[in-house]
């Protein structure tokens, strides 16, 4: 199977964009990116989310389901991935919202399920539940949502000989879910979805996140900074999925990808060097400490020596982002210096590489052929400085090599991702 491609559309507008016209939504920018993505035959548009003000430098994040619904009306082929947290939503609402997105987009909806590590101040009282509680809630939510999507049998709604709709109520069954957190009778109150179920993506990569993804996700979205890390992650999640009897090859591995392009290698490396030279090292130490889950003090640690493995935090005590702490713990164990960790922290642990489009295609091809990359996050389409590199450079090169398919395969997202119903 070929490598699938996804690009960010919408999400977090920068201060410039907001200040430009504070009264308007930034959907116009997302629509412009969506147009470019469809022209480049990119499989899907991704809308991230953060449920708090000011997190990770963002000052505004508009709601992804509303955004994807708007995008569905100005696009025809690209899938629409909305990031929505299970921590702060009710499963019945989620089943309806994503079900309706699948209807209004004629079968192009996908849910990027997140469990949230911030934003609890807006959903009190009670504070942020523990990672175990958040993942237990995500699992119960998925059981309910899937049961609701399946609550109409295949022949529940059909056309009679006179051309009128026949509703066979015997084929529409309640789900009668009585669980630890929720009681949901069902059935779902909207007709069967064009895709059966929207495509299910999950982002969260601690041990509990991997367990959830292995059981339910069709695609896992992960930060995989090195090839070794990607290989270990893929082996862990796929072996758990296999043990649960899932189809080999699932879940698909969707990696983030922070590309620095140059027309020559020297140009790309110069951009990286200039960025690295502008890093405030004290802020960098604090950022690495934050990546490690706080409680770690790096104030006096030498910059150019490997960090002591004694600094590795107790993962079980981390309340917010265990998966991110695991990435930086792994880099410490592999002997990275504090300076290298500060550089890695600028990309918050995501896969970050620099080079010409051909060189980046080599790196992508290497991971794809090693079986640790199925879906590439290809960004920069809305930026005049990177669009040409991303689309006419990297994407075109991947197509030339036969790694990315030449165009859309069908009207639904499942068709284009080659995922079964």
68 interacts with ligand FMN by CB under 6 A: no
* Segment near ligand FMN (CB under 6 A); pick from 47-55, 156-164, 356-364, 401-409: 47-55
Q: Is residue 363 part of the contact set for ligand FMN (CB under 6 A)?
A: no
**Smallest gap from residue 391 Cβ to ligand FMN (A):** 23
Establish if 348 lies at the interface with ligand FMN (CB under 6 A).
Answer: no
d(CA 336, CA 304): 9
For ligand FMN, give the closer residue by CB, 110 or 193. Answer: 110
| CA atoms of 107 and 104, how far apart (whole Å) | 8
223 touching ligand FMN, by CB under 6 A = yes
Residue the block writes with tokens 């997105």: 101
* Binder of ligand FMN out of 203, 250, 331, 363 (CB under 6 A): 203
Query: With respect to ligand FMN, which residue has the nearer C-beta, 41 or 83?
Result: 83
Triad 275, 352, 251: Cα angle to 5°: 155
Nearer to ligand FMN, 223 or 372 (CB): 223
73-102 positions binding ligand FMN, by CB under 6 A? 83, 85
Q: At closest approach, how far in Å is the CB of 274 from ligand FMN?
A: 26
Residues counted in the chain: 421
CB of 378 to ligand FMN, least distance (A): 15
Under rule CB under 6 A, residue 115 binds ligand FMN: yes
Per CB under 6 A, the list member of 206, 329, 359, 379 interacting with ligand FMN is 206
Number of H helices, E strands in the chain: 15, 14
- Asked if 321 interacts with ligand FMN (CB under 6 A), we say yes
359 lies in the binding site for ligand FMN (CB under 6 A): no
Give Cα 385 distance to the centre of its chain: 24
Residue 267: CB atoms within 10 A of its CB come to 14
Quickly list DSSP for 166-234: EE-GGGB----EE-SS-EE----SSPPBTTBS-EEEEE--SHHHHHHHHHH-SEEEE---SHHHHHHHH
Is 9 near ligand FMN (CB under 6 A)?
no
Q: Which is nearer to ligand FMN, 194 or 209 (CB)?
A: 209
Helix residue ranges, H only, 297-388: 322-333, 338-346, 357-369, 387-388
Which H or E element spans position 46?
A: strand 44-47
Q: How far apart are CA 246 and CA 214, in angstroms?
A: 8
Does the protein bind ligand FMN through residue 114 (CB under 6 A)? yes
Scanning 95-103, 109-117, 275-283, 387-395 for contacts with ligand FMN by CB under 6 A, the matching segment is 109-117
Structure tokens belonging to residue 53: 């003000």
Our CB check for ligand FMN shows the closer of 117 and 234 to be 117
In degrees and rounded to multiples of 5, residue 79 shows phi and psi of: -70, 160
Among 12, 111, 216, 221, binds ligand FMN (CB under 6 A): 221
How many CB atoms neighbour CB 405 within 10 A? 18
Contacts to ligand FMN from residues 245-284, by CB under 6 A? 256
Binds ligand FMN (CB under 6 A): choice among 107, 186, 284, 323: 323
Count CB neighbours of 407 within 10 A.
10
For residues 81 and 201, the answer to whether their CB atoms sit within 8 Å is: yes
Q: Which stretch binds ligand FMN (CB under 6 A): 70-78, 200-208, 245-253, 286-294?
A: 200-208
Pairwise CA distance, residues 39 & 27, whole Å = 18
The residues that touch ligand FMN, with contacts defined as CB under 6 A, are 48-50, 83, 85, 114-117, 203-206, 208-209, 221-223, 256, 321-323
């Amino acid at each position: 199977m070929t490598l699938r491609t996804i690009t960010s559309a919408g999400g977090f507008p920068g201060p410039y964009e907001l200040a430009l016209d504070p009264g308007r939504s930034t959907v116009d920018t997302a629509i412009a990116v969506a147009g470019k993505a469809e022209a480049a035959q990119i499989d899907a548009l991704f809308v991230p989310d953060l449920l708090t003000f000011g997190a990770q430098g963002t000052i505004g994040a508009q709601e992804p389901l509303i955004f994807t619904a708007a995008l569905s009306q100005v696009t025809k082929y690209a899938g629409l991935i909305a990031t929505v947290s299970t921590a702060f939503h009710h499963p019945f609402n989620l089943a309806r919202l994503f079900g309706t997105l699948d209807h209004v987009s004629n079968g192009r909806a996908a849910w990027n399920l997140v469990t949230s590590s911030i934003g609890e101040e807006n959903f009190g009282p009670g504070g942020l539940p523990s990672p175990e509680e958040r993942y237990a809630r995500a699992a119960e939510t998925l059981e309910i949502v899937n049961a609701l999507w399946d609550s109409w049998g295949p022949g529940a709604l059909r056309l009679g000989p006179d051309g009128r709709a026949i509703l066979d109520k015997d084929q529409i069954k309640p789900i009668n879910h009585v669980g630890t957190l929720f009681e949901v009778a069902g059935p779902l109150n909207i007709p069967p979805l064009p895709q059966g179920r929207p495509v299910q993506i999950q982002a969260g990569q601690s041990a509990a996140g991997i367990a959830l993804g292995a059981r339910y996700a069709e695609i896992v979205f992960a930060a995989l900074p090195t090839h070794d890390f990607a290989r270990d992650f893929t082996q862990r999640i796929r072996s758990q999925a296999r043990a649960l009897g899932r189809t080999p090859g699932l879940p698909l591995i969707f990696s983030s990808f922070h590309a620095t392009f140059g027309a020559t290698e020297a140009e790309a490396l110069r951009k990286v060097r200039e960025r690295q030279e502008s890093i405030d090292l004290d802020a960098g130490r604090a950022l690495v400490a934050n990546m490690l889950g706080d409680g770690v003090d790096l104030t006096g640690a030498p910059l150019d020596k490997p960090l002591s493995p004694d600094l590795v935090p107790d993962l079980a005590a981390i309340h917010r982002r265990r998966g991110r702490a695991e990435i930086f713990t792994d880099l410490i164990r592999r002997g990275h210096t504090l300076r290298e960790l500060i550089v890695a922290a600028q990309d918050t642990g995501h896969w970050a590489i620099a080079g010409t489009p051909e060189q980046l295609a080599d790196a992508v091809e290497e991971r794809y052929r090693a079986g640790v990359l199925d879906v590439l996050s290809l960004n920069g389409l809305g930026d005049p400085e990177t669009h040409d590199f991303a689309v006419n450079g990297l994407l075109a090169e991947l197509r030339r090599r036969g790694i990315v398919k030449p165009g859309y395969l069908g009207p639904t997202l499942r068709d284009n991702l080659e995922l079964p119903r």
